[in-house]
Amino acid sequence: MESLEPQIAEWRAYVAGSPAVNGQDVDELEDHLRHQIADLTEAGLTPDEGFLVAVKRMGDLNTVSREFAREHSGRLWKQLVLAGDEGQAHAASGWVEAFAFAAAAAVTIQVARLAADFPDEEPTWFARNVSLFVLPFLAAYFARGRQLDPRAWVLTAAPFVLLALVINLYPYDADSSTEELVALHLPVVLWFVVAYPYMGGTIRSHQRRMDYVRFTGEWFIYYVLIALGGGVLMGLTAGILEPTGVDIDRVAEWVLPSGAAGAVVVAAWLVESKQRVIENMAPVLTMLFTPLFAVMLVCSAVVYAVTGLGDAFDRDLVSVFDALLVVVLALVLYGMSAREPSASPEWMDRIQLVAVVSALLLDLMVLGAMIARIGDLGFTPNRTAAVGLNLVLLVNLVGAAWLSVRFLRGQARFHQLERWQTTYLPVFALWAAAVVVILPPLFGFD
């Protein structure tokens, strides 16, 4: 087979070029190819003929690597970068399209801002609807990029229309706290609505759900980067134009809302097209911050256990704890989505478990105190929302902790941990939707 070495090396290099196929997979495929050639030459073919037949039997490499990508979406989830027709279809929704949708979002928010006369006036309808001015364009960007059929377009649009009607027809009281809660929770609900076009309608696929989690994490990183860059730009502009007497606040009024809205779509486009660059960044950030959070959480748990809660807690503290649990959950989810699922338990999994368990202990203390207070003073919309979110997160993290203990002891598969999280995702969506739709009438739009 000596004379074949250059050809095999070339084939190997070509296979290795696919981002979904890693070094070990290439070894495996090459071993297969060599076996096949050996068998064929034994049967009487020349090595060259054997090579050709073996390569042919291996199948169209684009199809094969797409299959690898489908299985190892964790390794790349870059169905867009894949070669073949599918890849071209996506390539069509390039930057022009992304910027068109971004511009549409930027203009819409500007029109709404002028109508609201923000920031001179601060009408509550503006804050309440702000995500409705932006996220439909993100959904449409995905729906177009994924070439959804008309039925899927309708299913994408329907939640937006329904929610827009619901939140604007409710007769909120003046200074209504349920209205504030709607403004806070609607973006979350709509973010889950965007998942539908993002997944091309395949919302039952657990792998695609995990892809959406990854997308969310990467999108967040890009958005923060864009915001930082935008901040530097605005700061410098202010510094340069100030002496000329230009009122920079007026400029910012125009630039900031449009920039923030447009960046939502642009960040999504960047995640879609530059996945390979950032891919190395998000896992690194998770690796870096999981141990730090674990240390912080253990210390806080010890401090609280020693000093007791005292009078320290109030509604704000529950909100802080909600934020903390969200961060811990994000670290868990992100660490999970970036992990090779077939790897055996490692130190990172243990540290993650320490972080989760300390967060749980802390949260149980706060929640106990909070429920006691509700017992004394009764429910308000804010308390209900805070405690409800807390419970939703608590159940998730208890399940996650329980499964990771089993995983670390070799009694469960990593796959089950992943499945728990992806199965739980709709619960978050439903809770946020409940706060938007059910809570206001429940509390008389107070």
CB of 101 to another protein, least distance (A): 34
Query: If binding is defined by CB under 8 A, does position 28 make contact with another protein?
Result: yes
Binding mask 415-444 for another protein (x = CB under 8 A): x-----------------------------
Query: If binding is defined by CB under 8 A, does position 122 make contact with another protein?
Result: no
Query: If binding is defined by CB under 8 A, does position 173 make contact with another protein?
Result: no
Binding mask 32-71 for another protein (x = CB under 8 A): x-xxx--x-----------------xxxxx-xx--xx-xx
Residue labelled with tokens 């923060």 = 224
Query: If binding is defined by CB under 8 A, does position 72 make contact with another protein?
Result: yes
| Closer by beta carbon to another protein, 307 or else 344 | 344
CB of 27 to another protein, least distance (A): 7
| Closer by beta carbon to another protein, 6 or else 378 | 6
Structure tokens at 356: 């989760």
| Closer by beta carbon to another protein, 24 or else 307 | 24
Structure tokens at 244: 């000329």
| Closer by beta carbon to another protein, 21 or else 109 | 21
Out of 1, 13, 14, 27, name the contact with another protein by CB under 8 A.
Answer: 27
Binding mask 333-372 for another protein (x = CB under 8 A): --------xx------------------------------
Q: Which residues bind another protein (CB under 8 A)?
A: 24-25, 27-29, 31-32, 34-36, 39, 57-61, 63-64, 67-68, 70-72, 341-342, 413, 415
